[in-house]
Amino acid sequence: MPESVRSTTRPEPTPDGAASQRLMSLDVLRGFDMFWIVGGGALVGALEKASPGGVLGAIRAQLTHVDWAGFRFYDLIFPLFVFIAGVSSVFSLTKAKETGGQSQAMRRVLMRGLLLFVLGVFYSGGIKDGWENVRWLGVLQRIALSYTGAGLLYLFLPVKALAAVWVATLLGYWGLVSGMQIRDIHLAREPMAALMERTGETNAVVLYQQATNTVRGDAAIPGYNYVNHFDFRFLPGKLYDGYSDPEGILSNIPAVMTCVLGVFAGVFLRRDGMGAGGKSLYLILAGGLLVMLGFGWGLVFPVVKKLWTSSFVLTAGGWSLILLGVFHQVVDVWRIRWWCAPFQWIGMNALTIYITANILGPTGGWQAIAGRVVGGPVAGALGDLGRPMLAVAGLGVMLLFARFLYKRGIFLRL
């Protein structure tokens, strides 16, 4: 959820038991999540190249996406942001509803969702390559749509009805993806390239129309499932994967349910009558159960981030609950906060840092700035240590920027 704030003082930590106030653990968890996108992953990669294999190699493997079906830590980064948006919305929308009523809270959801969607189009390149090449759906757009959908559901439905919608949506999406017929054509780059070479036809639309035979879609195969085919037919503009998009139209439906899962967690954290430590434990246990259910469901409906399958919602949502429970216990209950400051700086301005890294250079980000000082001959003189040093310097620049905004009370939060 985008939340623009300009203040002269830093936000104070939330006292234990103040369920209606902002939880410090949410900002720290958000910052921890963003850390891996804007520099942490690059640092591990640079260190692993300098010293291949071993523990760093295993960590580096977790900081890459699976090609299609499966789950690694890096596949959690995006859904964790969506989940946190749902948790945060409970606190902010409850307060907005109490102070300004239902209509004001609804306007808040719609306006902030629209703002984030527009920022997402800008982040994805805007109209610089023409209207036909605008990427209308992307990462920020998905967060915007998920937050808007979950926020409106939270405002208009009681929790039990919302739970019923959540279950029905995940089951319905499973039925849709697994049961719908598609044209017998494989809409992925390599199969399409082979088909074009074999037929001499280079227009993908023509090839699609010529494929008159139909088969049942298979979520385990990229480009050979109903979600990818739906995007190819109906999603305008630029498709990220050429013939489909990992943030396409239909997969936004279960993504909203990831945000709704965050809403459930937020409602639970605001409940009275249970100790804070007990809440942490229940979050961790619930998360563990969802992870097991997700992997179990994945045996028949694969865990695929690019389709945001129902099993992926459970798996990623389960890990999100576990992390939330751990961070809540450490930061809000035990108040062990000596390590939190850098992540809080990032988490309080995650949107600003994310977009700024893109403006600085999609392939360089914060390292592009650091490289002007420690790149070139300086990095080259250090040999194998040059890349890790550049990655550390990039992280340092990012943290200085985040700290600058935090100290001056300038926040553009998700």
Residue spans of alpha helices (H) in 157-275:
159-179, 189-199, 204-210, 226-234, 252-270
Q: What is the pLDDT of residues 118-176, one digit of tens each?
A: 999 988 888 888 888 899 999 999 999 999 999 999 999 999 999 999 999 999 999 99
Residue range 386-414: mean pLDDT, rounded: 80
Helices H / strands E in the chain, number of each = 17, 4
Read off the pTM.
0.89
CA 239 to each of CA 81, 188, 195, 224, 359: distance values in angstroms, whole numbers, following the listed order = 22, 12, 19, 16, 21
Q: What is the pLDDT of residue 315?
A: 97
Between 22-26, 87-91, 140-144, 267-271, the lowest mean confidence (pLDDT) is in 22-26
Residue 360 is part of which domain span? 1-64+344-397+405-414
* 273 and 130 assigned to the same domain: yes
Query: Has residue 109 been placed in a domain?
Result: yes
Query: Has residue 69 been placed in a domain?
Result: no
More confident residue, 409 or 13: 409
pLDDT at 302 over 70: yes
The string of DSSP letters for 322-349 reads: HHHHHHIIIIIIS---TTTHHHHHHHHT
Residue range 307-321: mean pLDDT, rounded: 97
Q: What is the pLDDT of residue 16?
A: 39
Q: What b-and-e string marks burial along 142-166, b requiring 16 or more CB atoms within 10 Å of the CB?
A: bbbbbbbbbbbbbbeeeeeebeeeb
More confident residue, 322 or 101: 322
Instruction: Tell me the C-alpha distance between 51 and 110, whole Å.
Output: 49
Q: What is the pLDDT of residue 356?
A: 83
* 349 and 327 assigned to the same domain: no
Instruction: Tell me the C-alpha distance between 305 and 309, whole Å.
Output: 7
Q: Is 158 helix (H, G, I), strand (E, B) or coil?
A: coil
The residues, ordered by sequence, that sit 6+ positions from 300 with a Cβ below 8 Å of its Cβ are: none
- Smallest CA-to-CA distance from 16 within 275, 325, 279, 332 is with 332
Query: Has residue 318 been placed in a domain?
Result: yes
Q: What is the pLDDT of residue 11?
A: 42
Q: What is the DSSP letter of 67?
A: S
Q: What is the pLDDT of residue 297?
A: 97
- Smallest CA-to-CA distance from 91 within 402, 314, 332, 322 is with 332
Name residue 3's beta-bridge partners: 413
Q: pLDDT-based confidence at 327, cuts 50/70/90?
A: very high
* 285 and 150 assigned to the same domain: yes
Q: What is the pLDDT of residue 3?
A: 43
Other residues' Cβ atoms within 10 Å of the Cβ of residue 182: 21
* 45 and 100 assigned to the same domain: no
How does the average pLDDT of the chain come out, rounded? Answer: 86
Residue range 372-397: mean pLDDT, rounded: 68
Q: What is the pLDDT of residue 410?
A: 82
Q: What b-and-e string marks burial along 114-140, b requiring 16 or more CB atoms within 10 Å of the CB?
A: eebbebbbebbeeeeeeeeebbbbbbb
Q: pLDDT-based confidence at 357, cuts 50/70/90?
A: confident
Give the chain's domain count: 2
Q: Which amino acid is at 247?
A: E
Residue range 204-228: mean pLDDT, rounded: 94
Q: pLDDT-based confidence at 251, cuts 50/70/90?
A: very high
Query: Has residue 212 been placed in a domain?
Result: no
* 169 and 87 assigned to the same domain: yes
Q: What is the pLDDT of residue 15?
A: 37
Q: pLDDT-based confidence at 89, cuts 50/70/90?
A: very high
Query: Has residue 271 been placed in a domain?
Result: yes
- Smallest CA-to-CA distance from 387 within 68, 128, 44, 129 is with 44
Query: Has residue 227 been placed in a domain?
Result: no
Which sign does the torsion angle of CA 126, 128, 132, 133 carry? negative
* 364 and 279 assigned to the same domain: no
pLDDT at 322 over 50: yes
* 263 and 325 assigned to the same domain: yes
Between 74-78, 91-95, 369-373, the lowest mean confidence (pLDDT) is in 369-373
Query: Has residue 20 been placed in a domain?
Result: yes
* 86 and 156 assigned to the same domain: yes
Other residues' Cβ atoms within 10 Å of the Cβ of residue 250: 20
Between 42-51, 147-156, 177-186, 225-234, the lowest mean confidence (pLDDT) is in 42-51
* 111 and 23 assigned to the same domain: no
* 254 and 134 assigned to the same domain: yes
pLDDT at 67 over 60: yes
Q: pLDDT-based confidence at 13, cuts 50/70/90?
A: very low
Query: Has residue 198 been placed in a domain?
Result: no
* 389 and 414 assigned to the same domain: yes
pLDDT at 14 over 50: no
List phi, psi (to 5°) of 413.
Answer: -100, 155
Total count of residues recorded for the chain: 414
CA 102-108-109 angle, 5° bins: 95
Q: What is the pLDDT of residues 189-203, one digit of tens each?
A: 999 999 999 999 999
Element (H, E) at 4: strand 3-6
Residue range 204-225: mean pLDDT, rounded: 93
Q: Is 5 helix (H, G, I), strand (E, B) or coil?
A: strand
Share of the chain above pLDDT 70, in %: 86
Q: What is the pLDDT of residue 8?
A: 35
Which long-range contacts link 369-375 to residues 24+ away (Cβ below 8 Å)?
Answer: 369/394, 369/397, 370/394, 370/396, 370/397
* 41 and 135 assigned to the same domain: no
